[in-house]
Amino acid sequence: MFQKLDAVEARYEELTRKISDPEVISNQNEWKELMREHAEIEPIVEKYREYKKTKQTMEDALEMMNDPELKELAETEMLEAKEKLPIIEEEIKILLIPKDKDDEKNIICEIRGGAGGEEAALFAGTLFRMYSMYAERKHWKLEVLNENETELGGYKEISFMITGKGVYSRLKFESGVHRVQRVPDTEASGRIHTSTATVAVLPVVEDVEIEINPADIKMEVFRSSGAGGQHINKTSSAVRLIHEPTGIVVECQTERSQFQNKDNAMKMLKTKLYDIEKQKQDSEITNARRSQVGSGDRSEKIRTYNYPQGRITDHRIGFSIYQMEDFLNGNLDEMIDNLITADRAEKLKGDEE
């Protein structure tokens, strides 16, 4: 590990010199890339330097113990440094875990009602409200891209984009099947129903990350419609894009302008194509070492919302929360923090193996 840290520190010093070089600064693309790398490894270097300083303090204290007048002070310093070293070492190990390059990206989230008919669509609506309120708490911006609403106010499906700092890093573990156990409003006998909704969280990609051949896309326009087929407007502003090589279909109908809908639909299409590649890579990594909380399988049942018991359980980490109303009102941080911690622990374990 320390050999690796020496190499990281040497690279950091090289980058520090380069980002101050006028010739490099004049090439903005190169300079930005070097600045990004510099900022990424800076916390590791700072922590490594703290480790070396603490180790040196311990060694100096050992020497000072030979002096009777300094022995008591030296013992105190040595014990403090000795306690501190393993803590710093663990912090370095965490910092050395490879970061997900998509963590800082915005997301497109798709929620679809699964098994359970109208009740599943209503649950999809509950999940959309939950994520909307979480985005509000985080001061993120949410924009609905496409929706297929039911008569009772649920969603057969809804797609939306969330933009803000570190959105994907917080919401990436939400992908999968969410199960609800509750008495539906439509159930006269008071019988508990089990329904599901699927959530897919996809990182939004930059144009430079994925290229699409325009000849591969078929575009269709149609009139935007709401629940029950009522027309939102009378012009054909809604856009459907079909990517013929993969068969992926995306629709966007929430904007009044056909141009805006096409622009949003293209973002959705690029994001889906990028996700296909990401899923392949994640599968290869997972096959190589089982060191992640979610397998990335969208069919995996990840969480149960049990209304009668007021309990939300995440099955991947065996963690439960008993504040149902608070959770559904967007207070997700405790669950998300536990998922991040568990994922980090799995990756550390995978590295040690």
- pTM, two decimals, is 0.68
- Residue corresponding to tokens 């090289």: 14
- Residue corresponding to tokens 């539906």: 184
Of 341, 321, 336, 315, which Cα lies nearest the Cα of 178?
A: 315
pLDDT at residue 18, rounded to an integer: 94
pLDDT at residue 264, rounded to an integer: 85
What residues does each domain of the chain span? 2-96, 107-346
DSSP 99: P
pLDDT at residue 281, rounded to an integer: 64
| CA atoms of 273 and 260, how far apart (whole Å) | 20
| CA atoms of 112 and 8, how far apart (whole Å) | 44
pLDDT at residue 300, rounded to an integer: 77
Of 122, 109, 102, 97, which Cα lies nearest the Cα of 174?
A: 109
Backbone Cα Rg of the chain:
26
* pLDDT tens series, the chain, 353 aa: 778 899 999 999 999 999 999 999 999 888 988 998 898 889 999 999 999 999 999 999 988 888 888 888 989 999 999 999 999 998 888 888 777 788 888 999 999 998 888 899 999 999 999 999 999 999 999 999 888 888 888 999 999 999 999 999 999 999 999 999 998 776 667 788 899 999 999 988 875 567 788 888 888 888 766 544 444 445 578 888 899 888 889 888 877 788 888 888 888 888 888 888 777 766 654 544 444 455 445 567 999 999 999 999 999 999 999 999 999 999 999 999 999 988 888 877 765 55
DSSP 3-state helix, strand, coil percentages of the chain (rounded to 5)?
50, 20, 30
pLDDT at residue 122, rounded to an integer: 93
CATH of domain 107-346: 3.30.70.1660
pLDDT at residue 228, rounded to an integer: 43
pLDDT at residue 113, rounded to an integer: 92
pLDDT at residue 230, rounded to an integer: 43
pLDDT at residue 235, rounded to an integer: 59
Q: Count CB-CB contacts under 10 A for residue 165.
A: 11
- CA 123-252-109 angle, 5° bins: 45
pLDDT at residue 55, rounded to an integer: 93
pLDDT at residue 294, rounded to an integer: 53
- The backbone torsions φ and ψ at residue 80, rounded to the nearest 5 degrees and listed phi first, read -60, -45
- Residue corresponding to tokens 């089990």: 194
DSSP H stretches of helix in the chain? 2-18, 22-26, 28-64, 71-96, 117-137, 167-171, 258-288, 324-328, 333-352
| CA atoms of 195 and 181, how far apart (whole Å) | 7
| CA atoms of 41 and 95, how far apart (whole Å) | 9
pLDDT at residue 14, rounded to an integer: 94
Collect all residues with Cβ–Cβ distance below 8 Å to 39 and sequence separation of at least 6: none
